[in-house]
Structure 1
Amino acid sequence: MNNRDQKGFNANDNSNFNIGKVVQNFASPETRNNSETKLLNAVKNEVALRLAQSLHRRVYVELDKTEDPSQVASPWSMDVKLGDSPSQECPEGTHIVTIFDKKEIGGRLLILGAPGSGKTTLLLQLAEELVQRAEANAKAPVPVLLNLSAWKTQYSDIRSWMVVDLKQKYGVRKDIAEDWIETERILPLLDGLDELMSQRQETCVQALNDFLPDWTGTPLVVCSRFEEYQVYESNLGLNGSVIVQPLTDEQIETYLCRAKCDWLWEAICPDRDIMNPETGLARSPLFLSMLVLASDKLPPELWRQDKSAKERRRILFEAYINARLSCPYRGGENYQVGSKKSDRRQSKRKPVRNPYPKDERTKRWLGWFAARSVEDAQTELFIEKLQPYFLKTRPQEFVYGLVYGLVLGLVLGLVLGLVYGLVVGLFVGLVGEKSSNTVETIKISWRSTPRNFYKGIQTYIVYGLVIGLVYGLVIGLVVGLVIGLVIGLVIGLVVGLVLGLIGEEIDTKISDNQGIYQSVTNSIICGIVFIPFGVLILTALHYFHEPMQLSEILAQGAVKGFLLGASAGGLLSAIEHSALRITLWLFGYAPWNYSKFLRYCTDRGFLQRVGGGYRFVHALLRDHFAEHYDPS
């Protein structure tokens, strides 16, 4: 470290860590409530899946014949730095949790390393241990994996960002998240500081330092690349740091020999660029794993020493991609990695027909997916979170608006008449806002506290009546003032009542497209709820405006009431998403069955599946796809 501000590594700063506060915080609950239990299970599954789908694990599954995970154990070594003292090398085999538990660190730790050095894997290994502790002790906080790449300038502080990110990633209701942060019932594990745009990194560091003095009772861990961290104006106010060191010659040789790739060691050993102590590809566990997995496809130009380090990395990525695409496909839709039994079962399955034999098309689809992940500053993407603003050209926007408008017009035509419905639908589709939000967490909140329950109902009923009054005055110009006010107030009352009853509980996604399916389900539920009120409105029209037959009142009232409720409950979100998927397919940006394609890419070793979302096995591979294969 240089002579910059070293407050981030001051182990004697009692303001940063207080054992008494920890004991005080942990002394409250004897058992976890339902929301905390759901969150803990979600984090547990996420950690298990990400570790199981890591490239280190894939080397073990595919190349190691002893069926012993220790044969390809993570090969890196670590140094620990406290305060102004020189960094000290950790003994071989030291677990990250041992450092985390040091009295002078107290769980407030910074993990640093080069790209692909294994920082995130260390963070996941720490999370795995912390999850086990939280399962054994209800007083312990729940570890949560949050990615700082989602930090944006509109966030005023870390606390408000955490609330939003807990909602987006784990489905935690805002008030629950605020309570957990206030009472320090979560243990933040923050990755991806270096993935922020350069101008936002310093702002984020400052926000973290403003937050840390208030976060005095519970540990917090941050993970970042060493090179980017060195240029910040000030260090993070943490008690110590772990620095992941480049692999030594002995570690590289041991790793390759255990992976049954002795010949690869002989090939790279004399290559001074690949074995460069500071910049060599082989010094990184990520690239070393890729060398092993792509060993059959490594081109001769990789060994040419006139190639730059950047060009060699590109060649290695291409070799890895081509090697993975050419592997026999055994069907990955039901493949769950993570245990010896499942690994052996997968290896014994016979190859089946590859559903995506055109490799260039696969790269192009994955390139578009990667570019949107970079553009939206999200490490994890959910199919239902694809947005219309991802479309970049006017023809694409026009086609999306046309498809959305036509479908919406047909739906509205059942209420307004076909002509009026199509006119309104096309206007909304072609001129409306280009964004989409699913209605996926609507649940009747009977388990919320009675005070909050009734307060929510009262608030939304008032809002609904005000909106209904305005609406009634408008339609009163057509059907008459009295009937207009009656219809408006009824609709406002119903909308307010429904919105007051529904609430958001923690609801972690565990399957593809879960948000869209939930939106459709919610639209059906809300549609059924609205049927009686649709009949009521038609009955009012019968008495005050236009006489109708009983059968006509029942039929039209049921249809119009259902469509009104369905639209409020998620039908519009489902239509928007369907229109976007059709547009992406028409322009060749995505396959028709996106879920099947992403599972295929997970099987190939490009993606990791986490719950109902997907993330690339490493940000560097994502950046490679985005740079070289984005068709937009």
Structure 2
Amino acid sequence: MGQNQDIGNSSLENTDINQTQAGRDAVSFQNSQDNQVTINNIILRMFGKLGSPQVDWEWGKLLLEKKQLPDIRQRLTDTLGRKRISMDVSLQEQLSWVNRTLQIDDQDYGTLDANKLLIETYGRDDIAGKLLILGAPGAGKTTALLSLAEQLVEGARKNPQTVIPVLFELSTWRDDNQSIEQWLIEQLYELHGGNRKSKIYERWLEQRVLLPLLDGLDELGLERQKKCTFKLEEFAQHYPHVVVCCRMKEFAAVNLKLKTFRGAVCLQPLSDIQIQNYLHSLNHSELWSVIQKNADLEKLLELTSEDDPGLLRVPLFVKLVVDVYNPKQPISSKADLLEKYIDRQLSKDIREQERRKEKEKAKWAYKTVEHEPHWRQTSSSLIWIAQVLKENYKTEFLIEQIQPNYLNKKLHQWQYWLLLFIVNILISGTIATVIILPLVLTEYLFSWSFIPNSILVLGLFFGFIISTESKADGALLIIYPFVCCFCFLFKKELPIELKKYVPILHDIDISYRFRLRIPSLKDLRIKVFQPSLTIAIMLTKLMAILAFTIMSIPLMILYEILELSRYDKNNFIFLSTIQKMQILDQEGLYWLKIFIAITFFPITIIYVILFGIISLISVLLSEKIETSYTPNQGLQEAFKAVFFISIILILYIFSFSFLSFQIQPMYYKIINIVIGFLACSIYLPVIKHLCLRFVLWQSGIPWNLAQFLDYCVERRLLLRVGGRYRFLHRELLDHFAQSHHV
């Protein structure tokens, strides 16, 4: 195929999912012959046998079988709780307790038949492939979308070359000017890999074979939701099929209609009879009489002050009430209910009880209950994760994507930057000493006392450059202490630029792995030639400015003598230095600049070649990780690269540098510089990540974050898909994000 094989090389570790994918059973519908026939007929009627030769159908099949179907079924299984919670019912049974009403062109078509598949509603001619799924928080919108997705994917697998349904999170739409089509393409490459040169996903959209299933429109916030709704309307005007999922209240608040979406499925609050049936299925029928007799619980059946459905009218919260209800501790509000659920899941008694029940479980995140983190640390860590996700408009948390701006306290930000600076001083100073010292000292001038001084001096110089990463940031950091002193002495307020952007926090990119590959011409142009030319021109300019300044001093003196000889006091006394330089520029230094530019042109070429070699090596030996299949995957790949370059560096040191402190031939000097730059560029992301993790650990976040997150999955607070983690429900995410640290 000639494509990136991220999907093809993936392995499915969940045995339940493997069995399900093999056709044993479906999660969202009974895998009967009748249901399969219904799904097949709808797929063929809606999409037909397209079979466009421009579409890479084999890649689409891999994406559906290796990524979409396992992810959907794992999320459905986790949501329905087939493993470790008391609710042991199928999705079809669960949805039968939730009234689903259908509206088409603003006309009410009544309640849908709960025994019918959701794909049957989507396949109606009067809906025409564009559907909204609306409901209150916890009503089961995402579960309904996942069930529809599973049915569509199952139909696409059984009927190849028809359609490719893919789930997307609208919370990742960050650029207000970006079209939905461009965003879909970007998300597909980012989440599922593929060769951009082949334009796989662009052709999917051109040929109209991609079926976007969009969740989380309400997670953008009101203003950005309005903008995204405009973009969705523009997209749907020319695209034939799309599904969007959103909270009903937030959708109404925007006050913008998606006119091209003809159908809307609205999940209604539970009725009294449905609640009773729901409790009966969970073997807690007696709880209904308790609700009727308890004033606090009965109040939760009524509409809230914001006209939201009562808490016990929503399936998610009814299930939570069953789990946590205690007559001695009445439930007063949604926050109270969620807090009781969290306390229950983190209580030592429940944890020990689950371990006794599941003795056959092969592996737990922590060996014993005593090794598990304290509930205070668990709660405060989840609060931090939730706040990070909310602030960055994300729904999924990846360990390797933790950034320094996730540190919300200035003290922690300064701790991170100073720690990074100190480590960079030691590492860059050592590398620079090993690389540069043999080039400038002969064996007669060399002294061992030079080494610590060289590490310190070179480390301070290169460490500061590496830590700030740009001239503007370096200048901002240099003037910061002087401005602080001035503001303190004269009782002035610190400028907002310094207050907000100092210390300098740059993003960490450990999304590359060590792989030998052949780059495309586009990669060579963007990643090798352009940056090499930019760096070479910048360094040449610096050298030219220095040379120009030195060479212009005699001309400046001559200029002063000429002025004195003319006795023109007005011109001599009142001309500023800048004016003199401008006059000199007009009267002859223009040719001096031309001369300097020609003189330094060969140096520019040398710089281009030198940095081109460095960039070329990094492009040849690195490949972007498109999808995270395991926690810490990016960090593990980064450590492999660090180990490899460290071996090369050590071998080179013992081969050339420490054996003879002599000036090497020119090609050895080039090798020295190349290895030095490569070492620093490979070490830097890992150093930054470890410094950040150290500061987080000091602030209370567990050091082994993957182990902690897996523990939270066991506690039914998080869900895990591959190397990505998300909260069990949006309501739980919101609750933690609004909480304060314990």
Measured after TM superposition, the shift of residue 145 of structure 1 is: 1.7
Measured after TM superposition, the shift of residue 106 of structure 1 is: 3.4
Stretch moving more, 383-392 or 405-414: 405-414
Structure (1 or 2) with the larger CA radius of gyration: 2
- Determine helix, strand or coil for the equivalent of 1:424: helix
Deviations 1:520-551 (A, max 9, x none): 3345567889999999999xxx9xxx94369x
CA distance in 1, matches of 2:647, 2:532: 21
Corresponding residue of 1:412? 428
- Determine helix, strand or coil for the equivalent of 2:320: helix
User: Which of residues 660, 669, 678 is equivalent to 1:565?
Assistant: 678
CA distance in 2, matches of 1:244, 1:284: 10
CA distance in 2, matches of 1:155, 1:463: 26
Corresponding residue of 1:575? 687
Corresponding residue of 1:592? 703
Q: Is the 8 A contact 2:131 2:265 kept in 1?
A: yes
Deviations 1:271-293 (A, max 9, x none): 43222376221110110111122
Deviations 1:198-244 (A, max 9, x none): 1111111111101112213xx21000111222233331121211111
CA distance in 2, matches of 1:176, 1:224: 29
User: Which of residues 204, 208, 222 is equivalent to 1:180?
Assistant: 204
Corresponding residue of 2:248? 226
Corresponding residue of 2:663? 548
The 5-angstrom pairing of residues 400-549 of structure 1 reads 400-417=416-433, 418-419=455-456, 420-426=458-464, 428-429=466-467, 431=477, 433-441=504-512, 453-457=520-524, 460-463=527-530, 465-467=532-534, 469-470=536-537, 473=540, 488-498=607-617, 501=620, 507-522=626-641, 547-548=662-663
Corresponding residue of 1:319? 340
- The answer to whether structure 1 residue 399 and structure 2 residue 418 are counterparts is no
User: Which of residues 274, 284, 307 is equivalent to 1:261?
Assistant: 284
Corresponding residue of 2:309? 279
- The answer to whether structure 1 residue 193 and structure 2 residue 217 are counterparts is yes
Measured after TM superposition, the shift of residue 57 of structure 1 is: 1.6
CA distance in 2, matches of 1:32, 1:447: 25
Q: Is the 8 A contact 2:152 2:165 kept in 1?
A: yes
Which 5+ residue runs of structure 2 have no aligned equivalent? 1-42, 434-454, 469-476, 478-502, 547-598
Question: Which amino acid is the alignment partner of residue 229 of structure 2?
Answer: V
- The answer to whether structure 1 residue 613 and structure 2 residue 635 are counterparts is no
CA distance in 2, matches of 1:389, 1:35: 36
Inter-CA distance 416–629: structure 2 relative to 1 (3 Å threshold): same
CA distance in 1, matches of 2:341, 2:210: 38
Counting aligned pairs with the same residue, the percent is: 27
Deviations 1:570-596 (A, max 9, x none): 4322221111111111122x1111111
CA distance in 2, matches of 1:457, 1:274: 62
Length-normalised TM-score, structure 2: 0.69
Which 5+ residue runs of structure 1 have no aligned equivalent? 1-17, 334-341
Question: Which amino acid is the alignment partner of residue 288 of structure 1?
Answer: V
Corresponding residue of 1:248? 271
Stretch moving more, 431-440 or 345-354: 345-354
Question: Which amino acid is the alignment partner of residue 293 of structure 1?
Answer: D
CA distance in 2, matches of 1:347, 1:62: 19
The 5-angstrom pairing of residues 112-191 of structure 1 reads 112-171=134-193, 175-191=199-215
Inter-CA distance 521–144: structure 2 relative to 1 (3 Å threshold): farther
- Determine helix, strand or coil for the equivalent of 1:615: strand
Deviations 1:371-426 (A, max 9, x none): 11111110111111111112223221110001112222222123323211244325
CA distance in 1, matches of 2:149, 2:255: 29
Measured after TM superposition, the shift of residue 456 of structure 1 is: 3.5
CA distance in 2, matches of 1:298, 1:324: 18
Question: Which amino acid is the alignment partner of residue 325 of structure 1?
Answer: L
CA distance in 2, matches of 1:137, 1:526: 49
- Determine helix, strand or coil for the equivalent of 1:260: coil
Measured after TM superposition, the shift of residue 191 of structure 1 is: 0.9
- Determine helix, strand or coil for the equivalent of 1:62: coil
Measured after TM superposition, the shift of residue 370 of structure 1 is: 0.7
CA distance in 2, matches of 1:526, 1:179: 39
Stretch moving more, 605-614 or 70-79: 70-79
Measured after TM superposition, the shift of residue 165 of structure 1 is: 3.0
Q: Is the 8 A contact 1:436 1:576 kept in 2?
A: no
Corresponding residue of 1:294? 324
Measured after TM superposition, the shift of residue 343 of structure 1 is: 8.1
Q: Is the 8 A contact 2:48 2:162 kept in 1?
A: no
- The answer to whether structure 1 residue 87 and structure 2 residue 112 are counterparts is no
Inter-CA distance 533–351: structure 2 relative to 1 (3 Å threshold): closer
Inter-CA distance 243–503: structure 2 relative to 1 (3 Å threshold): farther
CA distance in 2, matches of 1:553, 1:330: 65
Measured after TM superposition, the shift of residue 192 of structure 1 is: 0.9
CA distance in 2, matches of 1:212, 1:508: 28
Deviations 1:116-146 (A, max 9, x none): 0000000111111222223233313332221
Corresponding residue of 1:239? 262
Corresponding residue of 1:5? none
The RMSD of aligned alpha carbons is 4.1
CA distance in 2, matches of 1:68, 1:393: 45
- The answer to whether structure 1 residue 111 and structure 2 residue 149 are counterparts is no
Measured after TM superposition, the shift of residue 319 of structure 1 is: 0.9
Corresponding residue of 1:45? 70
Measured after TM superposition, the shift of residue 369 of structure 1 is: 0.8
Inter-CA distance 228–344: structure 2 relative to 1 (3 Å threshold): farther
CA distance in 2, matches of 1:577, 1:348: 28
Corresponding residue of 2:30? none
Inter-CA distance 239–594: structure 2 relative to 1 (3 Å threshold): same
Inter-CA distance 111–434: structure 2 relative to 1 (3 Å threshold): same
Question: Which amino acid is the alignment partner of residue 686 of structure 2?
Answer: A
Inter-CA distance 178–354: structure 2 relative to 1 (3 Å threshold): farther
Inter-CA distance 98–445: structure 2 relative to 1 (3 Å threshold): farther
Stretch moving more, 229-238 or 382-391: 229-238
Inter-CA distance 120–241: structure 2 relative to 1 (3 Å threshold): same
CA distance in 2, matches of 1:102, 1:214: 19
CA distance in 1, matches of 2:643, 2:735: 42
Inter-CA distance 194–91: structure 2 relative to 1 (3 Å threshold): same
CA distance in 2, matches of 1:559, 1:185: 52
- The answer to whether structure 1 residue 102 and structure 2 residue 124 are counterparts is yes
CA distance in 2, matches of 1:222, 1:482: 57
Inter-CA distance 473–232: structure 2 relative to 1 (3 Å threshold): closer
CA distance in 2, matches of 1:567, 1:490: 19
Measured after TM superposition, the shift of residue 563 of structure 1 is: 4.5
Measured after TM superposition, the shift of residue 365 of structure 1 is: 1.1
Q: Is the 8 A contact 1:461 1:493 kept in 2?
A: yes
Inter-CA distance 173–194: structure 2 relative to 1 (3 Å threshold): farther
CA distance in 1, matches of 2:249, 2:191: 28
How many residues align structurally?
577
Q: Is the 8 A contact 1:143 1:186 kept in 2?
A: yes
Question: Which amino acid is the alignment partner of residue 624 of structure 1?
Answer: H
CA distance in 2, matches of 1:557, 1:332: 62
